[in-house]
Amino acid sequence: MPYDERLAERLRAVLEGQQGLTEQRMFGGLAFMVGGHLAVGAGSSGDLIVRVAHDDVAGFLADAGVRPMEMRGRPMSGWLLVSRDAVATDEDLEAWVARGVSYAASLPPKPGKAPG
């Protein structure tokens, strides 16, 4: 299943002007990278992919519409899927994008990538 093009466009609008931003197809979706690290993405399931600090995962899972991202049946620590309903408003999407960008920008840039 291809990623949600509308979500990708919404993400582009929120991320416009973000330093060190690149796009890359990943996980069957479209990832938005900051400094070479995935910050957020439009997932193949139609959900928003968000990367957060491992220590913050449990708190975010208490939010409606948020679940751990799984790869081959295994949860990926620090990676969340946020349902379409949970990012229906621009304000909700912006808040989740800010979380992902903040975490990605806190990581050291990957070699050859602009700092985030």
Please report, for the domain that includes residue 76, its CATH number.
3.30.1460.30
pLDDT more than 70, % of the chain: 95
Cβ contacts of 7 within 8 Å, gap of 6 or more: 42, 46, 48, 84, 87
* Residue 116 pLDDT > 50: no
Q: Residue 116 falls within a domain, yes or no? A: no
Q: Residue 26 falls within a domain, yes or no? A: yes
Alpha helices in 1-89 (DSSP H): 5-15, 57-61
Q: Residue 23 falls within a domain, yes or no? A: yes
- The sign of the CA dihedral 38, 41, 43, 49 is positive
Cβ contacts of 6 within 8 Å, gap of 6 or more: none
CA distance 22 to 20: 7
Q: Residue 112 falls within a domain, yes or no? A: no
Q: Give the residue numbers spanning the domain of 84.
A: 5-106
Count: domains in the chain: 1
Alpha helices in the chain (DSSP H): 5-15, 57-61, 90-106
Average pLDDT of the segment spanning 83-107: 97
Query: With bands split at pLDDT 50, 70 and 90, how would you rate the model's confidence at 64?
Result: very high
Q: Across 28-32, 66-70, 74-78, 94-98, which has the greatest mean pLDDT? A: 94-98
